[in-house]
């Protein structure tokens, strides 16, 4: 009988629990007054006229990547410059027949 309770407790502990009252969003919304909210300060975001492919072939190193709603986003380092690149794949619905990258230098 104890085994049944243990199995039930294990199954229940694996189910996702939604705690809406404690749910946090990042970054914190504008207007939120919290010591954990960073100030919005101007930052450098300079367009780069090289493709992600060219920068990787020149020795760039991928630091991180993830898939956003608009497509993959890659952060890389090329020498002393950190860059963020937004990738747009082929999409026949929009007549985009070649994958492209839109990159910006962060420093």
Helix (H, G, I), strand (E, B) or coil at 68: strand
74-101 tens-digit pLDDT: 999 999 999 999 998 888 888 888 889 9
pTM of the model: 0.65
* Domain edges within the chain: 2-105
Q: How far apart are CA 62 and CA 35, in angstroms?
A: 33
Residue 13 has pLDDT above 80, yes or no: no
Residue 42's pLDDT band (cuts 50, 70, 90): confident
Q: What is the pLDDT of residue 91?
A: 82
Q: Mean pLDDT over residues 42-56, rounded?
A: 93
Which runs of E-coded beta strand occur in 8-53?
46-48
């Amino acid at each position: 009988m104890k085994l049944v309770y243990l199995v039930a407790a294990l199954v229940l502990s694996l189910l996702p629990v939604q705690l809406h009252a404690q749910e946090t969003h990042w970054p914190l919304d504008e207007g939120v007054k919290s010591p954990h909210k960073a100030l919005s300060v101007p930052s450098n975001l300079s367009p780069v006229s090289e493709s992600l492919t060219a920068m990787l072939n020149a020795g760039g190193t991928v630091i991180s990547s993830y898939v956003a709603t608009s497509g993959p986003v890659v952060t890389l380092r090329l020498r002393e410059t950190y860059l963020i690149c937004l990738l747009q794949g082929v999409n026949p619905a929009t007549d985009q027949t070649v994958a492209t990258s839109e990159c910006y230098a962060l420093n």
